[in-house]
Structure 1
Amino acid sequence: MKRKSWIWLLILTSIVLIVTKNPKVIPNLHSQIKETTVKVQPFLYSLKASLDNKLSGKTKSSNQKQVSKTATPIEDPLKNVTISNTYYFHFKKNVPQSVRNSFTKAVNTYNDTGVVRLIPGEKQPNKNSITFFIYHKKIQDITSNTVELGNGGPSSLVINHYAINSGQAGLNLTYPNLAVKDSVAVHELGHALGLAHSSDRHSVMYPVDQGESSLSRGDIEGLKSIYQN
């Protein structure tokens, strides 16, 4: 028993000497863990999006060179990025039922393409989201022959070419008879998903309301250029 005790004492003494002579051994290990975590986080986001899309869709990169000449243009924040095609959407509490109905129809219109998947639910960390809202804005120039019916667009956080989009789409209730329409809701939701204005009068993204609520071929091609190859 005494001999074994001496052996253990020698081992413990050796360990103490190693730590004393090289006290940076433990801090270095901690530093490596922190550095690895920082480097892995963006990859985890990308991996999570890929996993989500294997179950519910696809994660692809948009590429300007691959966009058809007839495709609806893309908003700058979603150009040349990789992004999940799944979104969680919710309404702000003050949104009236009439506006909710128009945006719900717009959601169904985009879901019917099979390119994106919009799911009701609150905004979640590291997930694409869309917030529907209302606002009031009067025309400033009384000689103008146009009024603002709505507002919308993407807001992306990009990490290593992977984007998380917090889009918004709203209707101007200063002019409810003009703004609360399916065509306006589809237009503003298109902006939130990354579609920019189009010069094609048959596109829902034409900058002046034409009463069009059905996506054109160019609109669908524009969506595909963002969310698919």
Structure 2
Amino acid sequence: MKRLLLLLSVLAAVVGIGLPVNADPISSINQSSIFSTEDGQMTGSNTAQATRAGARPLSLPSRTPTPIEGYRWPTRNLRIYMQTRDKALQMAFRGAVRAWNNTGAVHISWCRDEDRADIIAQDGSLTSTAPTTVGYVSSQLGSTSTEYNPDTHALIRARSTLDAGQLDYTNRTFRTEIAEHELGHALGLAHAPEYMHSVMIPRNVKTGITKDDRATVRLLYDGHRE
């Protein structure tokens, strides 16, 4: 089992956030091992994980304007729970939810029961002690971890985290764009290369959700290009 976990950890994919950071926990159902990647580190444990997804793999587009992770939610109607009590971050998450809903591909609604939520919007300290280059990095601003069934490519749960301490000195628009980036990961979008025009570029989210991002999430959830 240890050798299997080591092999799976080598095969894990990492997604970044906000300025980069998303984690994708891979989970499968029926007493399968649930794996999650956080900042490049994968852990696993045997546990049963319920999911609304069926046994049949979900249909995924072969090509999209901006990259995708290779999984999506089995429904367009998603529930999100506001765990953070930080007013500025609440405003950022609410703005990001409105922005993704405006794409017309998904409908994310707020719920009061964390256990029933698909996505958790939370805050946490993401500051790294490691030296950084010029500019922000995702580990300082936001991070998203996801769980999905590797057999069906269906997302099971996502947690998007914003660092209040690191975002205190930024403006409302920028915080919302960071939240948009993180929720993009929660929907199944991957980091975009620097040359693209996308909110999913790790070190430059200031474009907000772009035409390419809207087209990508529409292809992912309803098969219609903008």
Q: When the two structures are superposed, what TM-score results if normalisation uses the length of structure 2?
A: 0.62
Q: Contact 1:75/1:196 (CA < 8 Å) preserved in 2?
A: yes
- Largest Rg, 1 or 2: 1
| Aligned pairs for 1:104-115 within 5 A | 104-115=94-105
Q: Tell me what 1:185 maps to.
A: 179
Query: What is the DSSP-based 3-state SS (H/G/I as helix, E as strand, rest coil) of the residue aligned with 1:181?
Result: helix
Superposition RMSD on alpha carbons, in Å?
2.9
| Aligned pairs for 1:1-229 within 5 A | 45=52, 61-65=58-62, 67-68=63-64, 71-76=65-70, 78=71, 83-92=74-83, 94-121=84-111, 122-123=113-114, 129-142=118-131, 144-147=133-136, 148-157=140-149, 161=152, 163-176=154-167, 177-178=169-170, 181-199=175-193, 200-213=195-208, 215-229=209-223
- Gap change, CA 1:206 and 1:62, over 3 Å in 2: farther
Aligned-residue offset at 1:175: 1.1
- Gap change, CA 1:106 and 1:131, over 3 Å in 2: same
In 1, Cα distance between equivalents of 2:153 and 2:110:
23
Aligned AA (1:144): T
Query: What is the DSSP-based 3-state SS (H/G/I as helix, E as strand, rest coil) of the residue aligned with 1:73?
Result: coil
> Which stretches of structure 1, 4 residues or longer, exceed 4 Å deviation after superposition?
44-47
Query: What is the DSSP-based 3-state SS (H/G/I as helix, E as strand, rest coil) of the residue aligned with 2:120?
Result: strand
The number of aligned residues is 164
Aligned AA (2:119): I
| Structure 2 gaps, min length 5 | 1-29, 31-50
Aligned AA (2:144): G
Q: When the two structures are superposed, what TM-score results if normalisation uses the length of structure 1?
A: 0.61
* Structure of higher RCO (CA pairs closer than 8 Å, 6+ residues apart): 2
Instruction: State the Cα deviation string for residues 150-178 of structure 1 (Å, max 9, x = none).
Output: 111432235x6262431111111231224
| Structure 1 gaps, min length 5 | 1-37, 39-43, 48-59
Share of identical aligned residues, percent? 23
Please identify which structure carries the higher helix content.
1
- Gap change, CA 1:162 and 1:141, over 3 Å in 2: closer
